[in-house]
A and B are shown apart, each in its own frame.
Chain A
């Protein structure tokens, strides 16, 4: 098992290196002078020169890449052009709202998607199945910001149950935090759950046609026991895989949702940095999200061992 974990982590290193090269090239290999690009439209020649100096832009590309990547490994992602603060600190400051939003979304997603997927597979090819699948197609066709504004209109503007925008930190009370992330999480969860409900249904249908399910039924086990204990556990691997793949979509959704709901998280930081052309922050944030995604995919791979004992070997 330890070998498996070590091997999986080692295989992520070349990917991480390539990701770093991509993100570095994004700013440095695009046409035009990176110093001018970073300094923005209103910079004086002296400012451009200062940036060139600070980022060592006169040195050859590979040297600059290794300086940048070396610093990144030591969690030094440079300074924001806009606020002159270290990028790492900016990200750390914005971590809490994004983390809460993503966690609540994930919990909501599983609460919505698993029951829907199980019921759809159980009642497959009936009107119940068809309406659940129709909901699923609708869920990932309606963009998350459209769902977001729809929810805001119904629950905040009309019914006045929940705050329209903003984020209340955990330090000011968990209830307030949950109220502030309720709508953005729901908007995101609807999109994410649609995807996972579809895969849960498909995976369960596959498992339900297998012999051990027939045996369980012949033994006289209840439908509920068969569905949840015998079938769902075996359908776990594809479902967990899609939760992992879906995380990329979720991160994209977080960026958009934080803008819709004015939540001061990392997604908001990204959009602000991009509108201000604050490239060190842009690079830092994309690197952060990519590393997060790679780590999540490793965890997903490792979790297979929970569902499928053959993986341990």
Chain B
């Protein structure tokens, strides 16, 4: 008890440092995400114009102005890579958020209502039978290209997984003593869901949202890479790789920069998801990782 109180009284910064020393991987991933987030927000301060075309200087090697060289239209590769962070981050977080809101709402409904459960399970069965990336490609190509379209197209195939996860958690929680007790004293409807069921789903939902974020970032890059994503002028990592295909043999670096950044971002998000999942799993948690 005394030790616990000492731990509580320890100043925040020291505690954070101690945590960082014990969990180097988690810390590095958090720092990478933070750095990329800052890059996304402050892109105009870091890099020059990512859209300006300069045909006279196409595919020129790095110089003082464009430190990663120029692409096949003479655009600044560094600036495009920096601005590309915005699209990936925006799509990743928006999809994770939308998937969570939709998935939790539908999942709780399916977990509590018998008819709802039947309908929702069959619908999710069917949606999960269609390969996610194909569904996203088809949606993105039919609706008009744009950021919102891409986010919707990627969210739709992500939702069923979240729905099933939340439903399974709700089914487990529904018969627990604290819920039946709440029901027996007359709690029902939204207060029951809000106070007694929703909090129990939050752990697994958070982990799943992290994975949804990672797969959304890859999916948006795939859409841009295949040419059905956001319009090609808007700098995105997938789009940069698509542009680099034709000159890949002579200028592999144009492919490498966005590829490495993309992989780094997805890797960080996935590792955080793994750590979160370990920390929230009582069987795996060692000395309370979080």
Contact = CB atoms under 8 A, between A and B. Distances in A.
Interface of A: 14-16, 18-19, 21-23, 26-27, 30, 37, 137-138, 140-143, 145-146, 149-150, 152-153, 157, 164, 248-249, 251-252, 255-256, 259, 270-271, 274-275, 277, 282, 285-286, 289-290, 293-294, 297
Interface string B110-143: 0000000000001101111111111101110111
B222 to A, nearest CB: 6
A146 B141 contact: no
A149 B129 contact: no
Contact of B132 (A19, A141, A248, A297): A248
A18 B270 contact: no
B270 A140 contact: yes
Contacts of A27: 142
B129 A270 contact: no
A80 to B, nearest CB: 16
A256 B131 CA distance: 12
Nearest to A157: B249
Given A18-B122, A146-B263, A157-B252, A274 B137 contact: yes
A142 B269 CA distance: 12
B226 interface: yes
Interface string B52-68: 00000000000000000
Nearest to A250: B131
Contacts of B218: 143
Interface of B: 122-123, 125-135, 137-139, 141-143, 214, 218, 221-222, 225-228, 241, 248-249, 252, 255, 259-260, 262-263, 266-267, 270-271, 274
A141 B214 contact: yes
Contacts of B127: 22
B222 A15 contact: no
A8 to B, nearest CB: 13
A137 B270 contact: yes
A85 B255 CA distance: 36
Nearest to A153: B252
B191 to A, nearest CB: 34
B267 A290 contact: no
Contacts of A19: 126, 129-130
A289 B134 contact: yes
A149 B248 contact: yes
A256 B225 contact: yes
Nearest to B248: A149
Q: Give 9 closest A-B pairs by Cβ, nearest first.
A: A18-B126, A252-B133, A141-B267, A146-B259, A142-B263, A251-B131, A141-B266, A274-B141, A141-B270
B45 to A, nearest CB: 28
Contacts of B252: 149, 153, 157
Contact of A18 (B123, B137, B143): B123
Contact of A277 (B132, B141, B225): B141
B267 A138 contact: yes
A149 B243 CA distance: 13
B228 A274 contact: yes
Given A26-B142, A297-B129, 4 more contacts: A30-B142, A152-B248, A255-B137, A275-B226
Contacts of B138: 26, 274, 282, 286
